[in-house]
Structure 1
């Protein structure tokens, strides 16, 4: 085997007594411009001529039956090469990064082209893959930037992962009917590819297969395919329509993410799952119908669908714990499926939804359920609902009225906080708990009834209800929390029942119109600064003088 020591002894001319060239024998010989391999050589080792950056031509005799991995990798001036018919395999990275290689003839003797074989051959315009080849390896033609067309022969059954990734000039590709599998990221970032026909023989399309094909306008998916994987058509910004066959059961995560030209899509009844971010960023998508077959909708599924006006979810068992909608300014109507049991935290946050139909099967509206639905004017809560979670309607700035059914027993913390147009609300007698900050900042709330089952008014419960003029506290209440009526600037009079034994700190802070309060001697504790900012008339109240003003503190 002719090795590095022999090269130093004999120079660049290989004697006839050798039958092979060893691994890395000429690797890094930057001054080597051409070499004749004698007919006695049968094999060329791994990385044999790698990084011969001045090598322009090489003749490989028919005696050679084996070319090693990365044999000619990074021969940056090598423009052409003829592979003899004695070769059956082109090894891993064999011509990788041969950036000047424009043409190569692959004989019909070759049956396998291994991984990264022509990776980053940035001057390679055309290549003919013979009908003898049965498999094209991963990243085989990755970053062949000026490759414009290629034909996959009928002998090939699998196209490897990333095989044509970042072939940014690839416009035409013909895939034969023998191909069963197209690998992960196979055509990723093929930004000039406008159309492609996938044969009916294909049963698997890998994740991110067409990710970033920005000029892809149409594609036919055969019924032999059962799944569109993660990121399959992500960032195909020119794709305006696609037909999903009834064989598809799942649309993976990011499947159509940022397909900004996609206006409508029909999801067949065969689909059972929509992945996370599946349609996020589809800015022209206007309508979508999700059929009864879908059992799961992933998080942020429709995030950023700024043209989406209507979505119909017929029947779904699970909606992700994350948001499925967000920042879609024209979405105005959503119908929730009938078999959904719980609407859970911050999944349907929609700034411009003005209608929401809740089916009678819903038992709980969870935390943040309608938070920041700024255009929601009214909503009907079915009698099946027993609990309104924390922040449930927080910042529903257009909500003017709401009817709470008698089935509800609990109003969560900040449940109606900052509902600035809410003028009145009827709380049924079934409610036994009103959470902290429940009506905080409801600046137009004039009247409210507190049911007789409530025994505590939470901290900041009515804080900032500046239009509230009066309130009846039932005899069931034993404690009024901190800041409970703080800044209720229109509150004129209030009666504290004999059941109340504790009033929290800052409770009536800045109640500037409060001139009269009926309070029983049952109160044993009044918190700090409870009446700070209230009129001096309150100092005339005998109970307050004994409990609160006993140190003759001055109210500002």
Structure 2
């Protein structure tokens, strides 16, 4: 009996000592729903079994691990699994693995790694802080899994700790995934149907278009034979939770453009919302004479440290300088550098390019010839314009084209214009008179935000108005909408406190903008929801529904409001859950209520 007790105590002591020596939070198969186990022997850690590696199976900062083998049957590598294992130099991953967690190999001493082609999900910074890492083989198509909220980072490798010599993609490439990897060279799969690698840079399959430049490059020499320089090849980037650059081309100093290049654009192969890059290019050698004016403009406006003088001096046959204006031989106005109060653009100019008059605060008036068909975004942003007559053949009103022109008092949109793009007249705080053209179809977000008009007519030809198109127009008092509201956002006139909307179409088109103000908690698990809406002319009342479910199927409460009301406070049996509110106006026609469209919000 005593012998048996001694054996039992000895076994218990052994188990205790083993558990104390085991990696922090590691687990055995007996505590997992999978059959995955591990074995550490002479510096080699072997993960074997079938199924996912348990989330708690982690070996963080384990100094004994020098090699890791993930055996066939294991389908995942848990997040932070080998994080900080600074002596880990070799990794072998089975083809059965489909998922690799975030920070899984971060801070290790690996020099190379092959991630099997079957891996579908890779966590952020899975290979972060690997100072010795030089070669990575990885799928071209995978889903990046990021951490939530403030810990989010759209990258797999770091761009500030060493640089990987080569990233080799072992499957068809999804171009957005390139931005997650900092490297000096990229190699795509030979049978990739869309792309090829030339000296470590990614081009289209035929080599005619440059698509991605490795972020660790300091100099780019575009291959002779390439005809299309896509600026997104260097402007691409990923970001962290604060919007800072991660793995962007932040080392690039010089670009050489060969004689074969005919076009430059900044939209194709775009994977971020960024256009004007912090890429620190200090010199661009332009060896081509085939660029049109728009291409030259894109080049200048895509790189912050490259100015018009730098490019014009290299292209004297294509760019002339007269009356403080740089104009190309194909009649594109690139830049005005004068300080006149009255500016006259030469007749024959067809296009006014991006930022051509940007921040020309001295300019009060501009004469635009009828030959102009295109005015690019931000062309007159932050100018001192008080008046402008748009040419009759203008195709569109571009994005932010008159943004911040605080002295502009009136604008007439020509009949030729079909679209007013976002932020076109944003913050034109003196803009009181707006006349829409007969063929205008769309007004996009924030197009007239913060303007000073008091009365406005939306004609039938305007079929679509985006959210916040007229937001924060505090002087607005009256809007008449003549046509259908099917594609007019209920929030088009949000935060216009004095506004009354009149509809000329059927009451079925009526809609108002709802704005939730506040929530006050009261006794017994109840709370008061206070909200308001934009006043409508000619309605008989409003129907309002509240619910804890955005589909309005749970805890629904229905109330009404009089036609003269602009706000309401409702008590609900809900103290902590999100409260969804929607409202629709109605009009009594032949003793029947005809309801308009719902608009909604949540608090």
TM-score between the two structures when normalised by the length of structure 2: 0.38
Instruction: Compare the two structures and name the one with the higher strand fraction.
Output: 2
Higher helix share: 2
Greater radius of gyration (CA) = 1
- What TM-score results when the alignment is normalised by the length of structure 1? 0.41
